[in-house]
Amino acid sequence: MRKNLFLIAALAATAAVSAPPAMAKGCIRGAMAGGVAGHFVGKGHALAGATAGCMVAHHHYAKKARAAHAHDGRPG
Protein backbone atom coordinates (compact mmCIF):
# COMPACT_ATOMS: atom_id res chain seq x y z
CA MET A 1 0.00 0.00 0.00
CA ARG A 2 2.77 2.39 0.94
CA LYS A 3 4.58 1.58 -2.31
CA ASN A 4 1.47 2.42 -4.35
CA LEU A 5 1.00 5.68 -2.49
CA PHE A 6 4.61 6.65 -3.20
CA LEU A 7 4.16 5.78 -6.89
CA ILE A 8 1.01 7.90 -7.15
CA ALA A 9 2.72 10.83 -5.43
CA ALA A 10 5.73 10.55 -7.76
CA LEU A 11 3.50 10.46 -10.85
CA ALA A 12 1.49 13.42 -9.60
CA ALA A 13 4.65 15.44 -8.96
CA THR A 14 5.95 14.60 -12.43
CA ALA A 15 2.66 15.58 -14.05
CA ALA A 16 2.51 18.83 -12.08
CA VAL A 17 5.97 19.83 -13.23
CA SER A 18 5.48 18.88 -16.87
CA ALA A 19 1.93 20.17 -17.41
CA PRO A 20 1.54 23.60 -19.01
CA PRO A 21 -0.32 26.08 -16.79
CA ALA A 22 -3.01 26.85 -19.39
CA MET A 23 -4.16 23.23 -19.44
CA ALA A 24 -4.07 22.81 -15.66
CA LYS A 25 -7.26 24.83 -15.32
CA GLY A 26 -9.16 22.39 -17.49
CA CYS A 27 -7.71 19.41 -15.67
CA ILE A 28 -8.65 20.76 -12.27
CA ARG A 29 -12.21 21.51 -13.37
CA GLY A 30 -12.59 18.08 -14.90
CA ALA A 31 -11.06 16.36 -11.90
CA MET A 32 -13.48 18.08 -9.54
CA ALA A 33 -16.50 17.15 -11.63
CA GLY A 34 -15.29 13.60 -12.20
CA GLY A 35 -14.45 13.11 -8.54
CA VAL A 36 -17.92 14.17 -7.46
CA ALA A 37 -19.54 11.96 -10.10
CA GLY A 38 -17.36 9.01 -9.09
CA HIS A 39 -18.20 9.57 -5.44
CA PHE A 40 -21.89 9.22 -6.20
CA VAL A 41 -21.32 6.10 -8.33
CA GLY A 42 -19.87 4.12 -5.45
CA LYS A 43 -17.10 3.48 -3.00
CA GLY A 44 -13.63 3.91 -4.47
CA HIS A 45 -14.74 5.46 -7.75
CA ALA A 46 -13.94 9.08 -6.87
CA LEU A 47 -10.26 8.74 -7.81
CA ALA A 48 -11.10 7.01 -11.09
CA GLY A 49 -13.68 9.70 -11.86
CA ALA A 50 -11.21 12.48 -11.08
CA THR A 51 -8.60 10.90 -13.33
CA ALA A 52 -11.03 10.46 -16.20
CA GLY A 53 -12.44 13.96 -15.73
CA CYS A 54 -8.95 15.46 -15.83
CA MET A 55 -8.10 13.62 -19.04
CA VAL A 56 -11.37 14.58 -20.76
CA ALA A 57 -11.13 18.24 -19.74
CA HIS A 58 -7.46 18.39 -20.74
CA HIS A 59 -8.36 17.00 -24.17
CA HIS A 60 -11.24 19.48 -24.52
CA TYR A 61 -9.14 22.53 -23.66
CA ALA A 62 -6.23 21.36 -25.84
CA LYS A 63 -8.60 20.94 -28.79
CA LYS A 64 -10.08 24.37 -28.09
CA ALA A 65 -6.61 25.95 -27.98
CA ARG A 66 -5.59 24.27 -31.26
CA ALA A 67 -8.76 25.52 -32.94
CA ALA A 68 -8.19 29.05 -31.69
CA HIS A 69 -4.59 28.93 -32.88
CA ALA A 70 -5.66 27.63 -36.31
CA HIS A 71 -8.21 30.40 -36.75
CA ASP A 72 -5.76 33.03 -35.55
CA GLY A 73 -4.25 33.37 -39.00
CA ARG A 74 -0.69 33.53 -37.72
CA PRO A 75 1.79 30.85 -38.75
CA GLY A 76 3.50 28.69 -36.12
Span 47-69, mean pLDDT? 87
| Secondary-structure breakdown of the chain: helix, strand, coil percentages, each rounded to the nearest 5 | 85, 0, 15
Span 4-22, mean pLDDT? 67
* pLDDT score at 75: 59
Span 30-54, mean pLDDT? 89
In a domain, residue 31? The reply is: yes
More reliable by pLDDT, 1 or 66: 66
In a domain, residue 14? The reply is: no
Rounded to two decimals, the pTM is 0.58
In a domain, residue 40? The reply is: yes
The one-character DSSP state at 1 is: -
* pLDDT score at 27: 83
In a domain, residue 9? The reply is: no
Which residues lie below 8 Å from residue 45, measured CB to CB, with a gap of 6+? 38, 39
Domain count along the chain = 1
In a domain, residue 11? The reply is: no
* pLDDT score at 17: 58
